[in-house]
Amino acid sequence: MIAQTIIEKRKMGINTKMENINRNSGVLLHITSLPNEYRLGCFSSECHRFIDWLYDSGFRTWQILPLVDCGYGGCPYNAHSSFAINPYLIDISEFLSAEEIASFGFDKSQPVYSEQDKLDKALDLIYDKFSASSPRTEFDKKNSYWLDDYALYKVIKSKHNHVSWQEFPVKLRDRNKVALTEFRDKYAREIDKVKFLQFVASNQWENIHNYAKSRGIKIFGDVPYYVCMDSADVWSNPKNWKLATSTTKGEIAGIPPDCFNADGQLWGNPIYDFKSMALDKYKYMTSRFTRAEELVDYIRIDHFVAFGNYYSIPANSKTAKNGKWVKGEGDKLLSAITSKLKAPIIAEDLGMITPEVVKLREKFNIPGLKLLQYAFHGDCDDMYKPHHWGKDSVGYLGTHDNDTYKGMLDNIGSWEHLNRIKKYLRMPLEWGNDAVIDQSIIAMYQSNACMIIITMQDILKLGSDCRMNIPGTTENNWLWQMNEMPSREICSYYADLAYTYGRL
């Protein structure tokens, strides 16, 4: 397909916001991975320190994972709401004295659930001390389209042992108006606390975001394609999904069987009912992205390939074998989303890249991802080698879902494979893996990619024990944390790379 020119796309009203991404480099580091002496990272002064370090190091982008409410230390892709900020990211030191914080007995060596209980008590104290004087009226009104249902959902869950909304008492599950009114009246204080914490979290993040803007740093955020079944989104507006009813089985997302998994994967996310969504011009989906735009400057769409085709499985299935591929809502949905946005979109288009996905990216001028870890496995992986990265690419060594680059090199298991990498990088074969990391990063800087992103673990040359997530597992993920900011030497090294290769 011959790509349309930028001018032609403008005439058609198609997104050309990729022009707003200047050639630059950035770092992937989630908020929780920032240093903190007593807990996981939060919206503390360490955010400002990190922004300063980014600027001094020649980086102009800070990529984070979703800021959503996923519990303390939980998976940021498993959210109770697409709109709410995780209240456990609140910097409690803004409100509480050192003595008050010490009284809770925080201990990072303890399991995250025990530390979450302590944070809950700290947040309760903040609410008791400051809620009456908080100027919240405008915030509550502006965000009422999601905040009211989210707060109600959170309190219903807390009063029913945190079960899924599908297991709420029937009248609350089915949103009986009388039952909901009675519940609101009975638990008005608890509902108000949820809203207050969202106000605090939003204010703290807004201050950080504004500081980043003042330093010329763009925040690169993330919107997953799917949402969780157990979320305020699905409970409050079930017509947007193909849910199981007395007459329908419902449909969930996943991926089909392959050579690695004979049963495929059941993700459990509900499948969208696009026929229903189209009736209000995809209002729910567009509101997810406009909310994200309030929080970040660039938006990565996780699992972008589903815009082209997605795998749908009957909701009662035990495996993914009975699923089917369905044509995505790509053109219509992307048109609706991009028409509402000023922020550039980046596609996480890893996995099975179909012609439909490529056409969508080209039509809407959306950059895709290129991972160096995926290169050097054979002829078919040439697209992942940096000399093939075009201006419509965002390059990585690996993302939060991959092993660290050092971990990958240490565990590569084949001298032939390792030497193939070294030969590509034009480096002596006797050089060690740390040198391979350096040369790989230089190759990224030299590439034509509009943006390159390096995980902090790769900047620090850390091994597999420091990776952020192992997909398909549930234990000990999302917990990696820096002890301190990187050295001045590292800062100077990357500042020189950014200057040398024109990424300032």
Domains of the chain by residue range: 237-343
pTM: 0.95
Range name among 101-115, 186-200, 212-226, 418-432 with the lowest pLDDT average: 101-115
Confidence at residue 8, expressed as pLDDT on a 0 to 100 scale: 53
Confidence at residue 15, expressed as pLDDT on a 0 to 100 scale: 53
Structure token digits, residue 387: 């000399």
* Strand, coil or helix: 423: helix
Confidence at residue 1, expressed as pLDDT on a 0 to 100 scale: 39
* CA-based nearest residue to 372, from 463, 308, 438, 466: 438
Amino acid at 474: T
CA distance 325 to 313: 9
CA distance 303 to 231: 19
Alpha helix positions (H), 217-313 = 232-236, 274-278, 283-295
Confidence at residue 387, expressed as pLDDT on a 0 to 100 scale: 96
Q: Residue range 320-337: average pLDDT?
A: 96
Contacts of 264 (CB under 8 A, 6+ apart): 254, 255, 256, 257, 258, 319, 320, 321, 323
Among all residues, which ones are annotated catalytic?
302, 348, 401
> Environment class of residue 288 by beta-carbon count within 10 Å: exposed (0-12), middle (13-18) or buried (19+)?
buried
- Tens of pLDDT, residue by residue over 200-257, are 999 999 999 999 999 999 999 999 999 999 999 999 999 999 999 877 889 999 999 9
pLDDT over 90 (residue 7): no
Structure token digits, residue 79: 């959210």
Q: Residue range 258-283: average pLDDT?
A: 94
